[in-house]
A and B are shown apart, each in its own frame.
Chain A
Protein backbone atom coordinates (compact mmCIF):
# COMPACT_ATOMS: atom_id res chain seq x y z
CA UNK A 1 0.00 0.00 0.00
CA UNK A 2 1.32 3.37 -1.00
CA UNK A 3 1.68 6.21 1.49
CA UNK A 4 -1.94 6.87 2.59
CA UNK A 5 -3.59 10.08 1.45
CA UNK A 6 -5.70 10.26 4.59
CA UNK A 7 -4.82 8.62 7.86
CA UNK A 8 -6.84 8.64 11.06
CA UNK A 9 -5.21 7.36 14.23
CA UNK A 10 -7.26 6.76 17.36
CA UNK A 11 -9.77 9.51 16.59
CA UNK A 12 -12.49 10.02 19.21
CA UNK A 13 -15.23 12.55 19.75
CA UNK A 14 -17.86 12.80 22.47
CA UNK A 15 -20.89 15.05 22.78
CA UNK A 16 -21.57 15.17 26.49
CA UNK A 17 -22.16 11.56 27.47
CA UNK A 18 -22.57 10.36 23.88
CA UNK A 19 -19.39 8.86 22.51
CA UNK A 20 -20.12 9.54 18.87
CA UNK A 21 -16.80 8.33 17.48
CA UNK A 22 -14.48 6.10 19.47
CA UNK A 23 -10.87 5.31 18.67
CA UNK A 24 -11.23 5.13 14.89
CA UNK A 25 -8.11 4.27 12.92
CA UNK A 26 -8.22 3.99 9.16
CA UNK A 27 -6.15 4.82 6.10
CA UNK A 28 -7.36 5.85 2.68
CA UNK A 29 -4.90 5.09 -0.13
CA UNK A 30 -4.59 7.59 -2.98
CA UNK A 31 -6.54 6.84 -6.14
CA UNK A 32 -9.07 4.57 -4.45
CA UNK A 33 -12.86 4.65 -4.24
CA UNK A 34 -13.88 3.49 -0.80
CA UNK A 35 -16.97 3.64 1.39
CA UNK A 36 -17.94 4.11 4.99
CA UNK A 37 -21.19 2.39 5.95
CA UNK A 38 -23.08 1.77 9.14
CA UNK A 39 -26.55 1.96 10.66
CA UNK A 40 -28.20 5.32 11.32
CA UNK A 41 -26.55 7.12 14.19
CA UNK A 42 -23.33 5.16 13.89
CA UNK A 43 -21.25 8.34 13.72
CA UNK A 44 -20.42 8.39 10.01
CA UNK A 45 -21.22 12.03 9.43
CA UNK A 46 -19.45 12.95 12.68
CA UNK A 47 -16.38 11.13 11.42
CA UNK A 48 -16.58 13.10 8.16
CA UNK A 49 -16.84 16.30 10.17
CA UNK A 50 -13.73 15.29 12.13
CA UNK A 51 -11.77 14.58 8.94
CA UNK A 52 -12.80 17.80 7.23
CA UNK A 53 -12.27 20.17 10.15
CA UNK A 54 -15.90 20.93 10.95
CA UNK A 55 -15.28 19.33 14.35
CA UNK A 56 -12.06 18.93 16.28
CA UNK A 57 -11.41 15.46 17.71
CA UNK A 58 -11.12 15.00 21.48
CA UNK A 59 -8.29 12.55 20.90
CA UNK A 60 -6.32 11.12 18.02
CA UNK A 61 -4.78 12.63 14.91
CA UNK A 62 -5.88 13.26 11.35
CA UNK A 63 -3.13 13.26 8.73
CA UNK A 64 -3.77 14.36 5.18
CA UNK A 65 -1.29 14.32 2.30
CA UNK A 66 1.62 13.88 4.67
CA UNK A 67 0.70 16.71 7.05
CA UNK A 68 -1.03 16.74 10.42
CA UNK A 69 -4.35 18.55 9.91
CA UNK A 70 -5.89 17.70 13.29
CA UNK A 71 -8.03 20.59 14.49
CA UNK A 72 -7.35 22.84 11.51
CA UNK A 73 -10.37 24.93 10.47
CA UNK A 74 -12.47 23.55 7.63
CA UNK A 75 -11.44 26.11 5.03
CA UNK A 76 -7.75 25.33 5.58
CA UNK A 77 -8.37 21.63 5.08
CA UNK A 78 -10.38 22.36 1.93
CA UNK A 79 -7.42 24.38 0.64
CA UNK A 80 -5.12 21.46 1.38
CA UNK A 81 -7.26 19.36 -0.96
CA UNK A 82 -9.90 17.56 1.11
CA UNK A 83 -13.46 18.66 0.34
CA UNK A 84 -16.68 17.31 1.79
CA UNK A 85 -20.30 17.41 0.66
CA UNK A 86 -23.30 17.50 2.95
CA UNK A 87 -25.91 14.82 3.43
CA UNK A 88 -28.56 17.53 3.75
CA UNK A 89 -27.75 19.58 0.66
CA UNK A 90 -26.57 23.11 1.37
CA UNK A 91 -26.96 25.18 -1.79
CA UNK A 92 -26.45 28.94 -1.89
CA UNK A 93 -30.14 29.05 -2.69
CA UNK A 94 -30.38 32.63 -3.90
CA UNK A 95 -27.59 32.15 -6.42
CA UNK A 96 -27.60 30.42 -9.77
CA UNK A 97 -26.14 26.97 -10.32
CA UNK A 98 -23.19 28.54 -12.14
CA UNK A 99 -22.53 30.95 -9.26
CA UNK A 100 -22.77 28.13 -6.74
CA UNK A 101 -20.16 26.05 -8.50
CA UNK A 102 -17.97 29.10 -9.11
CA UNK A 103 -17.59 29.58 -5.33
CA UNK A 104 -15.81 26.24 -5.27
CA UNK A 105 -13.79 27.07 -8.38
CA UNK A 106 -12.62 30.32 -6.78
CA UNK A 107 -10.45 28.27 -4.46
CA UNK A 108 -7.90 28.09 -7.28
CA UNK A 109 -9.15 30.72 -9.72
CA UNK A 110 -8.72 34.31 -8.58
CA UNK A 111 -10.40 35.80 -11.65
CA UNK A 112 -14.16 35.71 -11.97
CA UNK A 113 -14.11 34.78 -15.64
CA UNK A 114 -11.83 31.78 -15.02
CA UNK A 115 -13.97 30.59 -12.11
CA UNK A 116 -17.15 30.79 -14.19
CA UNK A 117 -15.49 28.89 -17.03
CA UNK A 118 -14.31 26.24 -14.56
CA UNK A 119 -17.86 26.05 -13.19
CA UNK A 120 -19.22 25.38 -16.68
CA UNK A 121 -16.68 22.60 -17.20
CA UNK A 122 -17.51 20.95 -13.86
CA UNK A 123 -21.24 21.21 -14.56
CA UNK A 124 -20.72 19.26 -17.78
CA UNK A 125 -18.89 16.54 -15.84
CA UNK A 126 -21.80 16.00 -13.44
CA UNK A 127 -24.58 16.59 -15.97
CA UNK A 128 -25.80 19.96 -14.73
CA UNK A 129 -24.90 21.97 -17.82
CA UNK A 130 -28.55 22.39 -18.82
CA UNK A 131 -29.34 24.13 -15.53
CA UNK A 132 -26.41 26.54 -15.21
CA UNK A 133 -28.52 29.69 -15.29
CA UNK A 134 -31.20 28.46 -12.89
CA UNK A 135 -31.39 29.54 -9.26
CA UNK A 136 -30.18 26.68 -7.06
CA UNK A 137 -33.50 26.79 -5.20
CA UNK A 138 -35.30 25.68 -8.38
CA UNK A 139 -33.40 22.39 -8.76
CA UNK A 140 -34.94 19.01 -8.01
CA UNK A 141 -33.51 16.86 -5.21
CA UNK A 142 -31.40 14.98 -7.73
CA UNK A 143 -30.21 18.27 -9.20
CA UNK A 144 -29.24 19.59 -5.77
CA UNK A 145 -27.26 16.45 -5.05
CA UNK A 146 -25.40 16.96 -8.30
CA UNK A 147 -24.83 20.60 -7.40
CA UNK A 148 -23.40 19.59 -4.03
CA UNK A 149 -21.04 17.25 -5.87
CA UNK A 150 -20.17 19.83 -8.52
CA UNK A 151 -19.34 22.57 -6.03
CA UNK A 152 -16.99 20.25 -4.14
CA UNK A 153 -15.45 19.00 -7.36
CA UNK A 154 -14.81 22.56 -8.51
CA UNK A 155 -12.27 22.96 -5.70
CA UNK A 156 -10.15 20.36 -7.54
CA UNK A 157 -9.86 18.16 -4.45
CA UNK A 158 -7.40 15.33 -4.03
CA UNK A 159 -9.82 13.64 -1.67
CA UNK A 160 -13.57 14.00 -2.01
CA UNK A 161 -15.76 13.07 0.96
CA UNK A 162 -19.26 12.35 -0.33
CA UNK A 163 -21.91 12.19 2.38
CA UNK A 164 -24.88 10.24 1.00
CA UNK A 165 -25.04 11.73 -2.46
CA UNK A 166 -27.59 9.07 -3.42
CA UNK A 167 -29.97 9.44 -0.46
CA UNK A 168 -33.44 10.55 -1.50
CA UNK A 169 -32.95 9.69 -5.16
CA UNK A 170 -35.19 7.27 -7.04
CA UNK A 171 -33.67 4.13 -8.66
CA UNK A 172 -33.48 5.83 -12.05
CA UNK A 173 -31.61 8.80 -10.58
CA UNK A 174 -29.30 6.50 -8.63
CA UNK A 175 -28.48 4.63 -11.80
CA UNK A 176 -27.61 7.94 -13.45
CA UNK A 177 -25.52 9.17 -10.56
CA UNK A 178 -23.34 6.09 -10.10
CA UNK A 179 -21.42 6.57 -13.38
CA UNK A 180 -20.84 10.21 -12.43
CA UNK A 181 -19.18 9.19 -9.16
CA UNK A 182 -17.20 6.49 -10.91
CA UNK A 183 -16.09 8.98 -13.55
CA UNK A 184 -14.76 11.33 -10.88
CA UNK A 185 -12.72 8.53 -9.36
CA UNK A 186 -11.49 7.49 -12.80
CA UNK A 187 -10.19 11.03 -13.29
CA UNK A 188 -7.83 10.46 -10.38
CA UNK A 189 -9.75 11.96 -7.46
CA UNK A 190 -9.68 9.76 -4.38
CA UNK A 191 -13.26 9.29 -3.18
CA UNK A 192 -14.60 8.25 0.21
CA UNK A 193 -18.37 7.74 0.33
CA UNK A 194 -20.84 7.53 3.14
CA UNK A 195 -23.66 5.57 1.61
CA UNK A 196 -26.81 3.75 2.65
CA UNK A 197 -27.71 2.56 -0.82
CA UNK A 198 -25.97 -0.82 -0.76
CA UNK A 199 -26.45 -1.33 -4.48
CA UNK A 200 -24.14 1.63 -4.97
CA UNK A 201 -21.61 0.54 -2.36
CA UNK A 202 -21.37 -2.93 -3.88
CA UNK A 203 -21.10 -1.38 -7.29
CA UNK A 204 -18.58 1.34 -6.58
CA UNK A 205 -16.40 0.73 -3.58
CA UNK A 206 -13.30 -1.37 -3.63
CA UNK A 207 -12.94 -1.22 0.14
CA UNK A 208 -15.54 -0.68 2.87
CA UNK A 209 -15.33 0.33 6.52
CA UNK A 210 -18.27 -0.39 8.79
CA UNK A 211 -18.98 1.94 11.68
CA UNK A 212 -21.46 1.04 14.43
CA UNK A 213 -22.01 3.00 17.62
CA UNK A 214 -18.93 5.05 16.94
CA UNK A 215 -16.55 2.12 16.48
CA UNK A 216 -15.12 0.51 13.38
CA UNK A 217 -16.43 -3.04 13.54
CA UNK A 218 -15.30 -4.39 10.17
CA UNK A 219 -13.44 -3.53 7.03
CA UNK A 220 -12.72 -5.27 3.76
CA UNK A 221 -14.19 -5.71 0.32
CA UNK A 222 -17.95 -5.17 0.05
CA UNK A 223 -18.49 -8.90 -0.18
CA UNK A 224 -16.44 -9.53 2.95
CA UNK A 225 -18.19 -6.98 5.14
CA UNK A 226 -21.71 -7.88 4.09
CA UNK A 227 -21.00 -11.47 5.04
CA UNK A 228 -19.52 -10.39 8.38
CA UNK A 229 -21.66 -11.48 11.34
CA UNK A 230 -20.83 -8.43 13.40
CA UNK A 231 -21.99 -6.21 10.56
CA UNK A 232 -25.26 -8.07 10.09
CA UNK A 233 -25.96 -7.86 13.81
CA UNK A 234 -25.14 -4.17 13.91
CA UNK A 235 -27.80 -3.54 11.31
CA UNK A 236 -30.46 -6.05 12.28
CA UNK A 237 -29.97 -6.68 15.96
CA UNK A 238 -28.25 -9.16 18.24
CA UNK A 239 -28.67 -12.80 17.27
CA UNK A 240 -29.93 -12.22 13.76
CA UNK A 241 -26.85 -13.58 12.07
CA UNK A 242 -27.36 -16.95 13.70
CA UNK A 243 -31.09 -17.02 12.91
CA UNK A 244 -30.54 -16.12 9.29
CA UNK A 245 -27.93 -18.82 8.96
CA UNK A 246 -30.19 -21.50 10.46
CA UNK A 247 -33.14 -20.47 8.31
CA UNK A 248 -31.22 -20.77 5.04
CA UNK A 249 -29.16 -23.94 5.42
CA UNK A 250 -26.76 -24.45 2.56
CA UNK A 251 -28.44 -21.78 0.49
CA UNK A 252 -25.20 -19.87 0.04
CA UNK A 253 -24.69 -18.39 -3.39
CA UNK A 254 -28.37 -18.16 -4.30
CA UNK A 255 -28.35 -14.41 -4.40
CA UNK A 256 -24.63 -14.15 -4.93
CA UNK A 257 -22.42 -14.19 -1.89
CA UNK A 258 -21.95 -10.45 -2.06
CA UNK A 259 -25.55 -9.43 -1.40
CA UNK A 260 -26.13 -10.95 1.98
CA UNK A 261 -29.80 -11.35 2.91
CA UNK A 262 -29.51 -8.52 5.39
CA UNK A 263 -28.98 -6.02 2.62
CA UNK A 264 -31.26 -7.36 -0.10
CA UNK A 265 -33.68 -4.52 0.46
CA UNK A 266 -31.21 -1.79 -0.40
CA UNK A 267 -31.29 1.22 1.88
CA UNK A 268 -31.91 0.18 5.48
CA UNK A 269 -33.44 3.45 6.51
Chain B
Protein backbone atom coordinates (compact mmCIF):
# COMPACT_ATOMS: atom_id res chain seq x y z
CA UNK B 1 0.00 0.00 0.00
CA UNK B 2 2.74 2.45 0.98
CA UNK B 3 4.61 1.65 -2.22
CA UNK B 4 1.50 2.18 -4.34
CA UNK B 5 0.82 5.52 -2.65
CA UNK B 6 4.42 6.60 -3.21
CA UNK B 7 4.10 5.72 -6.90
CA UNK B 8 0.86 7.69 -7.14
CA UNK B 9 2.51 10.69 -5.50
CA UNK B 10 5.44 10.44 -7.92
CA UNK B 11 3.00 10.26 -10.84
CA UNK B 12 1.10 13.33 -9.62
CA UNK B 13 4.32 15.34 -9.13
CA UNK B 14 5.55 14.36 -12.60
CA UNK B 15 2.33 15.52 -14.23
CA UNK B 16 2.40 18.76 -12.23
CA UNK B 17 6.01 19.36 -13.24
CA UNK B 18 5.22 18.82 -16.92
CA UNK B 19 2.23 21.14 -16.60
CA UNK B 20 4.21 23.86 -14.89
CA UNK B 21 6.97 23.65 -17.46
CA UNK B 22 4.76 23.29 -20.54
CA UNK B 23 4.23 26.36 -22.68
CA UNK B 24 2.59 24.86 -25.76
CA UNK B 25 -1.15 24.56 -25.82
CA UNK B 26 -0.88 21.34 -27.79
CA UNK B 27 1.02 19.61 -25.01
CA UNK B 28 -1.30 20.94 -22.31
CA UNK B 29 -4.35 19.82 -24.26
CA UNK B 30 -2.76 16.42 -24.69
CA UNK B 31 -2.09 16.15 -20.94
CA UNK B 32 -5.61 17.31 -20.05
CA UNK B 33 -7.36 14.96 -22.44
CA UNK B 34 -5.16 12.02 -21.46
CA UNK B 35 -5.89 12.59 -17.79
CA UNK B 36 -9.58 12.91 -18.58
CA UNK B 37 -9.52 9.61 -20.52
CA UNK B 38 -7.54 8.05 -17.67
CA UNK B 39 -10.27 9.12 -15.24
CA UNK B 40 -12.94 7.47 -17.42
CA UNK B 41 -10.85 4.32 -17.72
CA UNK B 42 -9.99 4.15 -14.02
CA UNK B 43 -13.67 4.56 -13.10
CA UNK B 44 -14.62 1.73 -15.44
CA UNK B 45 -11.73 -0.33 -14.05
CA UNK B 46 -13.15 -0.16 -10.51
CA UNK B 47 -16.24 -2.09 -11.57
CA UNK B 48 -15.01 -3.90 -14.70
CA UNK B 49 -11.43 -4.66 -13.78
CA UNK B 50 -11.76 -5.33 -10.06
CA UNK B 51 -15.40 -6.39 -9.93
CA UNK B 52 -15.51 -8.30 -13.22
CA UNK B 53 -18.78 -6.60 -14.19
CA UNK B 54 -18.38 -5.31 -17.75
CA UNK B 55 -20.49 -2.23 -18.25
CA UNK B 56 -21.18 -1.00 -21.77
CA UNK B 57 -23.13 1.97 -20.51
CA UNK B 58 -20.83 3.88 -18.22
CA UNK B 59 -21.94 7.04 -19.98
CA UNK B 60 -25.01 6.67 -17.76
CA UNK B 61 -23.02 7.93 -14.77
CA UNK B 62 -20.96 10.34 -16.83
CA UNK B 63 -24.05 12.01 -18.24
CA UNK B 64 -25.77 12.13 -14.86
CA UNK B 65 -22.77 13.92 -13.37
CA UNK B 66 -22.54 16.30 -16.32
CA UNK B 67 -26.21 17.25 -16.30
CA UNK B 68 -26.37 17.71 -12.53
CA UNK B 69 -23.28 19.91 -12.70
CA UNK B 70 -24.77 22.18 -15.36
CA UNK B 71 -28.38 22.21 -14.12
CA UNK B 72 -27.32 23.01 -10.56
CA UNK B 73 -25.43 26.06 -11.82
CA UNK B 74 -27.63 27.30 -14.64
CA UNK B 75 -31.11 26.52 -13.36
CA UNK B 76 -30.55 26.76 -9.63
CA UNK B 77 -27.73 29.27 -9.52
CA UNK B 78 -25.48 27.10 -7.39
CA UNK B 79 -21.75 27.66 -7.14
CA UNK B 80 -19.74 25.26 -9.32
CA UNK B 81 -17.82 23.91 -6.35
CA UNK B 82 -21.07 23.17 -4.52
CA UNK B 83 -22.54 21.59 -7.64
CA UNK B 84 -19.61 19.20 -7.90
CA UNK B 85 -20.44 17.03 -4.86
CA UNK B 86 -24.08 16.97 -6.02
CA UNK B 87 -22.98 15.72 -9.44
CA UNK B 88 -20.76 13.06 -7.92
CA UNK B 89 -23.46 12.04 -5.45
CA UNK B 90 -26.15 11.84 -8.13
CA UNK B 91 -23.97 9.61 -10.32
CA UNK B 92 -23.23 7.39 -7.32
CA UNK B 93 -26.96 7.23 -6.56
CA UNK B 94 -27.71 6.16 -10.13
CA UNK B 95 -25.02 3.49 -9.66
CA UNK B 96 -26.75 2.35 -6.49
CA UNK B 97 -30.12 2.15 -8.24
CA UNK B 98 -28.87 0.33 -11.33
CA UNK B 99 -26.68 -1.97 -9.22
CA UNK B 100 -29.55 -2.83 -6.87
CA UNK B 101 -31.76 -3.77 -9.79
CA UNK B 102 -29.25 -5.75 -11.83
CA UNK B 103 -27.19 -7.46 -9.14
CA UNK B 104 -30.22 -8.37 -7.03
CA UNK B 105 -31.32 -10.57 -9.91
CA UNK B 106 -27.83 -11.90 -10.52
CA UNK B 107 -27.35 -10.36 -13.96
CA UNK B 108 -23.78 -10.82 -15.14
CA UNK B 109 -21.64 -11.09 -18.23
CA UNK B 110 -23.25 -9.98 -21.46
CA UNK B 111 -26.63 -9.53 -19.78
CA UNK B 112 -25.23 -6.97 -17.40
CA UNK B 113 -23.43 -5.26 -20.28
CA UNK B 114 -26.65 -5.05 -22.30
CA UNK B 115 -28.70 -3.75 -19.38
CA UNK B 116 -26.20 -0.97 -18.65
CA UNK B 117 -26.22 -0.06 -22.35
CA UNK B 118 -30.02 0.02 -22.26
CA UNK B 119 -30.07 2.23 -19.15
CA UNK B 120 -27.71 4.70 -20.82
CA UNK B 121 -29.93 4.79 -23.91
CA UNK B 122 -33.04 5.30 -21.79
CA UNK B 123 -31.37 8.22 -20.06
CA UNK B 124 -30.31 9.66 -23.42
CA UNK B 125 -33.87 9.51 -24.71
CA UNK B 126 -35.19 10.98 -21.46
CA UNK B 127 -32.68 13.81 -21.68
CA UNK B 128 -33.97 14.60 -25.17
CA UNK B 129 -37.60 14.46 -24.07
CA UNK B 130 -37.85 16.19 -20.72
CA UNK B 131 -37.75 19.93 -20.25
CA UNK B 132 -35.25 20.52 -17.50
CA UNK B 133 -32.33 19.18 -19.53
CA UNK B 134 -32.94 21.59 -22.36
CA UNK B 135 -33.96 18.73 -24.65
CA UNK B 136 -31.99 17.93 -27.76
CA UNK B 137 -30.49 21.40 -27.88
CA UNK B 138 -28.43 20.70 -24.80
CA UNK B 139 -27.32 23.09 -22.12
CA UNK B 140 -24.70 25.77 -22.09
CA UNK B 141 -22.67 26.88 -19.10
CA UNK B 142 -22.17 30.66 -19.39
CA UNK B 143 -18.51 31.40 -19.91
CA UNK B 144 -17.20 33.22 -16.86
CA UNK B 145 -13.58 32.49 -16.20
CA UNK B 146 -12.64 32.53 -12.54
CA UNK B 147 -11.60 30.12 -9.85
CA UNK B 148 -15.01 30.50 -8.16
CA UNK B 149 -16.84 29.27 -11.26
CA UNK B 150 -14.34 26.43 -11.77
CA UNK B 151 -13.62 27.82 -15.22
CA UNK B 152 -9.93 28.32 -15.51
CA UNK B 153 -8.35 30.79 -17.91
CA UNK B 154 -5.56 28.39 -18.65
CA UNK B 155 -5.61 24.68 -19.45
CA UNK B 156 -3.35 24.26 -16.43
CA UNK B 157 -6.26 24.73 -14.06
CA UNK B 158 -8.14 21.86 -15.68
CA UNK B 159 -5.05 19.66 -15.51
CA UNK B 160 -4.95 20.18 -11.74
CA UNK B 161 -8.71 19.57 -11.41
CA UNK B 162 -8.75 16.34 -13.39
CA UNK B 163 -5.44 15.22 -11.91
CA UNK B 164 -7.03 15.52 -8.48
CA UNK B 165 -9.79 13.10 -9.50
CA UNK B 166 -7.32 10.74 -11.16
CA UNK B 167 -5.16 10.68 -8.02
CA UNK B 168 -8.24 10.00 -5.90
CA UNK B 169 -9.27 7.16 -8.22
CA UNK B 170 -5.76 5.73 -8.11
CA UNK B 171 -5.68 5.94 -4.32
CA UNK B 172 -9.04 4.19 -4.13
CA UNK B 173 -7.75 1.48 -6.48
CA UNK B 174 -4.65 1.07 -4.34
CA UNK B 175 -6.93 0.70 -1.32
CA UNK B 176 -8.92 -1.98 -3.17
CA UNK B 177 -5.72 -3.95 -3.58
CA UNK B 178 -4.98 -3.90 0.14
CA UNK B 179 -8.32 -4.07 1.90
CA UNK B 180 -11.02 -6.51 2.87
CA UNK B 181 -13.55 -4.93 0.53
CA UNK B 182 -11.12 -5.21 -2.39
CA UNK B 183 -10.22 -8.80 -1.56
CA UNK B 184 -13.89 -9.71 -1.48
CA UNK B 185 -14.61 -7.86 -4.71
CA UNK B 186 -11.81 -9.65 -6.55
CA UNK B 187 -12.92 -12.96 -5.08
CA UNK B 188 -16.41 -12.39 -6.48
CA UNK B 189 -14.88 -11.46 -9.84
CA UNK B 190 -12.78 -14.63 -10.00
CA UNK B 191 -15.31 -17.12 -8.66
CA UNK B 192 -18.61 -16.06 -7.20
CA UNK B 193 -19.57 -19.46 -5.75
CA UNK B 194 -16.22 -19.92 -4.04
CA UNK B 195 -16.55 -16.43 -2.60
CA UNK B 196 -20.03 -17.15 -1.23
CA UNK B 197 -18.78 -20.36 0.37
CA UNK B 198 -16.31 -18.40 2.49
CA UNK B 199 -18.84 -15.82 3.61
CA UNK B 200 -18.63 -13.11 0.95
CA UNK B 201 -21.90 -11.41 0.00
CA UNK B 202 -21.53 -10.91 -3.78
CA UNK B 203 -24.40 -8.42 -3.93
CA UNK B 204 -22.80 -6.04 -1.46
CA UNK B 205 -19.38 -6.29 -3.07
CA UNK B 206 -20.69 -5.51 -6.56
CA UNK B 207 -22.99 -2.79 -5.29
CA UNK B 208 -20.09 -1.06 -3.54
CA UNK B 209 -18.04 -1.25 -6.72
CA UNK B 210 -20.74 0.21 -8.98
CA UNK B 211 -21.39 3.08 -6.56
CA UNK B 212 -17.67 4.00 -6.41
CA UNK B 213 -17.32 3.57 -10.15
CA UNK B 214 -20.38 5.71 -10.77
CA UNK B 215 -19.11 8.43 -8.45
CA UNK B 216 -15.83 8.83 -10.34
CA UNK B 217 -17.62 8.70 -13.67
CA UNK B 218 -19.87 11.49 -12.37
CA UNK B 219 -16.77 13.50 -11.48
CA UNK B 220 -15.56 13.00 -15.05
CA UNK B 221 -18.91 14.25 -16.36
CA UNK B 222 -18.75 17.33 -14.14
CA UNK B 223 -15.18 18.00 -15.30
CA UNK B 224 -16.30 17.71 -18.91
CA UNK B 225 -18.96 20.36 -18.41
CA UNK B 226 -16.48 22.69 -16.72
CA UNK B 227 -13.95 22.21 -19.53
CA UNK B 228 -16.27 22.54 -22.53
CA UNK B 229 -19.18 24.54 -21.02
CA UNK B 230 -21.68 22.55 -23.06
CA UNK B 231 -23.52 19.23 -22.84
CA UNK B 232 -26.21 17.59 -24.93
CA UNK B 233 -27.92 14.18 -24.65
CA UNK B 234 -25.64 12.44 -27.17
CA UNK B 235 -22.44 13.65 -25.59
CA UNK B 236 -23.75 12.87 -22.12
CA UNK B 237 -25.34 9.46 -22.57
CA UNK B 238 -24.18 8.34 -26.05
CA UNK B 239 -22.01 5.26 -26.41
CA UNK B 240 -18.80 7.14 -27.25
CA UNK B 241 -17.90 7.83 -23.63
CA UNK B 242 -18.80 4.29 -22.54
CA UNK B 243 -16.55 2.87 -25.24
CA UNK B 244 -13.71 5.25 -24.50
CA UNK B 245 -13.78 4.23 -20.84
CA UNK B 246 -13.75 0.50 -21.43
CA UNK B 247 -11.33 0.46 -24.36
CA UNK B 248 -8.65 2.41 -22.50
CA UNK B 249 -9.05 0.13 -19.46
CA UNK B 250 -8.89 -3.04 -21.56
CA UNK B 251 -5.95 -1.87 -23.67
CA UNK B 252 -4.07 -0.75 -20.58
CA UNK B 253 -4.87 -3.78 -18.46
CA UNK B 254 -8.01 -4.51 -16.46
CA UNK B 255 -7.69 -5.08 -12.76
CA UNK B 256 -4.35 -3.31 -12.51
CA UNK B 257 -3.47 -0.03 -10.84
CA UNK B 258 -1.65 1.63 -13.75
CA UNK B 259 -3.26 -0.11 -16.71
CA UNK B 260 -6.02 2.44 -17.32
CA UNK B 261 -3.51 5.31 -17.16
CA UNK B 262 -1.19 3.54 -19.61
CA UNK B 263 -4.10 2.67 -21.88
CA UNK B 264 -5.40 6.23 -21.94
CA UNK B 265 -1.94 7.62 -22.66
CA UNK B 266 -1.22 5.07 -25.40
CA UNK B 267 -4.56 5.57 -27.13
CA UNK B 268 -4.29 9.35 -27.04
CA UNK B 269 -0.73 9.27 -28.34
CA UNK B 270 -1.87 6.96 -31.12
CA UNK B 271 -4.84 9.15 -31.97
CA UNK B 272 -2.63 12.25 -32.18
CA UNK B 273 -0.05 10.44 -34.26
CA UNK B 274 -2.51 9.04 -36.79
CA UNK B 275 -4.31 12.35 -37.02
CA UNK B 276 -1.08 14.19 -37.79
CA UNK B 277 0.23 11.57 -40.22
CA UNK B 278 -2.95 10.96 -42.12
CA UNK B 279 -4.85 14.15 -41.51
CA UNK B 280 -5.42 14.57 -45.25
CA UNK B 281 -7.19 11.21 -45.46
CA UNK B 282 -10.10 11.50 -43.07
CA UNK B 283 -11.11 8.17 -41.54
CA UNK B 284 -7.77 6.47 -42.05
CA UNK B 285 -6.71 7.35 -38.51
CA UNK B 286 -9.73 5.42 -37.18
CA UNK B 287 -8.72 2.41 -39.27
CA UNK B 288 -5.23 2.40 -37.79
CA UNK B 289 -6.67 2.94 -34.32
CA UNK B 290 -8.89 -0.12 -34.80
CA UNK B 291 -6.06 -2.28 -36.13
CA UNK B 292 -3.88 -1.44 -33.14
CA UNK B 293 -6.75 -2.33 -30.83
CA UNK B 294 -7.18 -5.73 -32.46
CA UNK B 295 -3.43 -6.37 -32.25
CA UNK B 296 -3.30 -5.47 -28.56
CA UNK B 297 -6.29 -7.60 -27.62
CA UNK B 298 -4.87 -10.53 -29.62
CA UNK B 299 -1.25 -10.43 -28.57
CA UNK B 300 -1.28 -8.66 -25.20
CA UNK B 301 -4.52 -9.89 -23.66
CA UNK B 302 -3.53 -8.63 -20.22
CA UNK B 303 -3.15 -5.14 -21.62
CA UNK B 304 -0.09 -2.95 -21.61
CA UNK B 305 0.36 -3.28 -17.84
CA UNK B 306 0.53 -7.05 -18.22
CA UNK B 307 2.54 -7.10 -21.45
CA UNK B 308 5.68 -8.41 -19.72
CA UNK B 309 3.80 -11.43 -18.46
CA UNK B 310 2.09 -12.04 -21.81
CA UNK B 311 5.48 -11.84 -23.55
CA UNK B 312 7.08 -14.29 -21.12
CA UNK B 313 4.25 -16.76 -21.64
CA UNK B 314 4.47 -16.44 -25.40
CA UNK B 315 8.25 -17.05 -25.38
CA UNK B 316 7.91 -19.82 -22.79
CA UNK B 317 5.38 -21.62 -24.95
CA UNK B 318 7.75 -21.48 -27.90
CA UNK B 319 10.63 -22.87 -25.84
CA UNK B 320 8.59 -25.63 -24.22
Give chain A's interface residues, CB within 8 Å of chain B. 52-54, 73-75, 78-79, 83-86, 90-95, 99, 102-104, 106-107, 109-112, 115, 151-152, 154-155
Contacts and interface: CB of A to CB of B under 8 A. Distances in A.
A106 B197 contact: no
B196 interface: yes
Interface of B: 1, 178-180, 183-184, 186-187, 190-191, 193-202, 255
B197 A83 contact: yes
Contacts of B178: 112
Contact of A92 (B1, B187, B199, B202): B187
6 contacts: A52-B197, A73-B201, A90-B193, A107-B199, A109-B180, A151-B194
B191 A90 contact: yes
A90 B188 CA distance: 12
A85 B197 contact: yes
Contacts of A85: 197
A52 B191 CA distance: 17
A29 B219 CA distance: 56
B194 to A, nearest CB: 4
Contacts, number: 82
A133 B255 CA distance: 19
User: Top 8 closest A-B pairs, CB basis?
Assistant: A78-B199, A92-B190, A90-B194, A74-B196, A107-B199, A104-B198, A103-B187, A75-B201
Grouping DSSP codes into helix (H, G, I), strand (E, B) and loop, the A interface class, with mixed when no group exceeds half, is loop
B113 to A, nearest CB: 20
Nearest to B1: A112
Given A106-B183, A112-B183, A95 B199 contact: no
Given A90-B191, A91-B191, A95-B186, A155 B180 contact: no
A91 B200 CA distance: 14
Nearest to A151: B198
B184 A92 contact: no
B179 A112 contact: yes
B200 A103 contact: yes
Given A95-B186, A112-B178, A75 B200 contact: yes
A109 to B, nearest CB: 8
B318 to A, nearest CB: 19
Most chain B beta-carbon contacts within 10 A, residue among A94, A109, A152: A94
B306 to A, nearest CB: 10
Contact of A93 (B179, B184, B190, B193): B190
B198 A83 contact: yes
A34 B4 CA distance: 47
Contacts of B198: 78, 83, 103-104, 107, 151-152, 154-155
Contacts of A53: 196
Contacts of B1: 112
Contacts of A99: 183, 186
A54 B193 contact: yes
Contacts of A154: 198
A98 B205 CA distance: 20
Nearest to A74: B196
Contacts of B197: 52, 54, 74, 78, 83-86, 90, 152
B128 to A, nearest CB: 41
